[in-house]
């Protein structure tokens, strides 16, 4: 029987927009965990099996979980999802970005406890009015049946996650800006995001 839930952390490694390796950013002072260590620790509170997909696995000997290189280099998160789901033997996979400094066990427990209809469960922050506005495909659940679709899209050069996930007719978890979960999904893409984090 398959284990129910594993986790793939998408850790990349380029950080072009941030200007430095944000994965090594220390949270809560010089003795705090790095951003990647924090994400791993939170993921391990809800998943027994965790793997990390990144471009430079040899640079992280201190991490105690399997480290994978992307199935196809430099094409974004989809390659990491394919690599991670290919290794995990779980019915469902939690996919997490490594740049969520306010990620909490409570948020993940809430996500995991939601009824699962269809192939995916995707949070959606409600402040954005665009078609896929606020979708959080890198803090979401995917059923194993998604993997062939991800693999086909990767092979065909279709890398945009939101367009691919739309085909799954995902179950959306709406999160209003007044929700306590809203800030948990704040991510770090640019230095401005780090400054904003200090105000949250």
* Binding positions: 10-12, 22, 70, 99
Q: Binding site residues for Mg(2+), as ranges?
A: 99
Q: Which two tokens stand for residue 187?
A: 């991510």
Lookup result for tokens 């000997």: 61
Decide if 68 contacts 53 (C-beta within 8 A): yes
Q: Binding site residues for GTP, as ranges?
A: 10-12, 22, 70, 99
Tell me the residue ranges of DSSP E strands in 14-118.
Answer: 49-54, 67-68, 90-97
In 10 A of CB 85, how many CB atoms? 23
The CA angle 67-39-105, to the nearest 5 degrees, is: 130
Residues sharing a CB contact under 8 Å with residue 197, sequence separation 6 or more, in sequence order: 101, 102, 186, 188
Residues sharing a CB contact under 8 Å with residue 160, sequence separation 6 or more, in sequence order: none
């Amino acid at each position: 029987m398959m284990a129910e839930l594993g986790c793939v952390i998408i850790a990349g490694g380029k950080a072009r927009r941030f200007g430095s390796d944000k994965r090594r950013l220390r949270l809560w002072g010089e003795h705090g965990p790095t951003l990647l260590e924090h994400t791993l620790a939170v993921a391990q509170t809800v998943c027994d099996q965790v793997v990390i997909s990144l471009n430079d696995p040899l640079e992280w000997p201190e991490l105690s979980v399997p480290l994978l290189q992307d199935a196809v280099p430099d094409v974004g998160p989809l390659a990491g999802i394919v690599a991670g789901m290919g290794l995990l033997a779980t019915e469902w996979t939690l996919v997490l970005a490594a740049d969520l400094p306010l990620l909490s066990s409570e948020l993940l427990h809430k996500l995991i406890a939601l009824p699962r209809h269809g192939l995916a469960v995707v949070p959606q922050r409600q402040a954005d009015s665009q078609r896929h506005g606020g979708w959080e495909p890198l803090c979401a659940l995917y059923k194993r049946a998604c993997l062939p679709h991800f693999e086909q899209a990767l092979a065909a050069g279709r890398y945009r996650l939101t367009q691919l996930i739309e085909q799954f007719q995902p179950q959306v978890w709406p999160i209003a800006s007044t929700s306590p979960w809203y800030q948990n999904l704040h991510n770090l893409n640019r230095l401005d995001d780090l400054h904003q984090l200090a105000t949250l």
